[in-house]
């Protein structure tokens, strides 16, 4: 029997992030096994990279790093039974998807939508900046196509900007990142450690 979810972990993710795809597809089940609730926090890496003096993802700037990452993703998705397709272009523009993730209030629908977007991007190789792709993701989780209009609401735009500023203030420099209280963990390979700590506090 699963424990009641009284403890929490914050999952900070960017839709363009390959390793965030890995975490998004397993975090809820893993957290539930330890009685931990997941808080989903979309943000944008672009402003954070810019503050680091980067105008692109390090995986594109450093070819050796990029080649390693793509091979690593092939290995890890195969191990976990996930479909993986390299998206083109990379990185994807996840701005509208991130705004929608903030706009969706129902937590189960929010989580399902996030997974649907990641699947469209990294399993099907679709462009998640395309409205039709996002509408498909919305309708898959029982939300109306008109939900897409919330991308243009000033309050939602401002909320995403604030999310990114909050991520910077918390010392987040990449995705996926996990916060348990003030303790920061970076990378899909640190998810298990973060969940373990969340279960103990």
Catalytic residue selected from 17, 20, 23, 119 = 17
Q: Where are the domains of the chain?
A: 7-200
Return the pLDDT at 2: 44
HSE of 124 in the Cβ direction (CA atoms, 13 Å)? 13
Return the pLDDT at 153: 97
What is the tens place of the pLDDT at every residue in 42-100? 999 999 999 888 889 999 999 999 999 999 999 999 999 999 999 999 999 999 999 99
* 17 annotated active-site: yes
- Residues in the chain, total: 201
Looking at the predicted structure, is the pLDDT value of residue 123 above 80? Answer: yes
The backbone torsions φ and ψ at residue 64, rounded to the nearest 5 degrees and listed phi first, read -65, -40
The CATH H-level (homologous superfamily) assignment of domain 7-200 is Glutaredoxin (3.40.30.10)
**What is the C-alpha to C-alpha distance for residues 163 and 42, in angstroms, rounded to an integer?**
7
Tally helices (H) and strands (E) across the chain.
10, 4
The backbone torsions φ and ψ at residue 181, rounded to the nearest 5 degrees and listed phi first, read 65, -125
The backbone torsions φ and ψ at residue 180, rounded to the nearest 5 degrees and listed phi first, read -120, 105
Looking at the predicted structure, is the pLDDT value of residue 198 above 80? Answer: yes
Q: If pLDDT is split at 50, 70 and 90, which confidence band does 6 have?
A: low
């Amino acid at each position: 029997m699963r424990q009641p979810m009284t403890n929490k972990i914050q999952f900070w993710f960017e839709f363009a992030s390959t390793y965030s795809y890995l975490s998004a597809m397993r975090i809820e089940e893993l957290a539930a096994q330890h009685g931990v609730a997941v808080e989903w926090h979309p943000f944008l890496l672009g402003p954070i990279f810019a503050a680091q003096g980067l105008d692109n993802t390090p995986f594109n700037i450093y070819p050796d790093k990029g080649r390693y990452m793509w091979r690593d993703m092939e290995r890890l998705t195969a191990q976990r039974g996930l479909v993986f397709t390299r998206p083109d272009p990379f990185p994807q523009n996840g701005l509208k998807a991130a705004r929608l993730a903030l706009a969706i209030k129902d937590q189960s629908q929010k989580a399902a939508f996030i997974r649907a977007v990641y699947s469209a991007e990294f399993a099907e190789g679709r462009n998640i900046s395309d409205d039709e792709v996002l509408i498909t993701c919305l309708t898959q989780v029982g939300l109306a196509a008109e939900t897409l209009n919330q991308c243009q609401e000033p309050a939602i735009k401002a909320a995403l900007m604030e999310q990114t500023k909050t991520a910077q203030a918390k010392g987040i420099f990449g995705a996926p990142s996990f916060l348990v209280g003030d303790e920061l963990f970076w990378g899909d390979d640190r998810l298990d450690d973060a969940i373990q700590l969340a279960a103990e506090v």
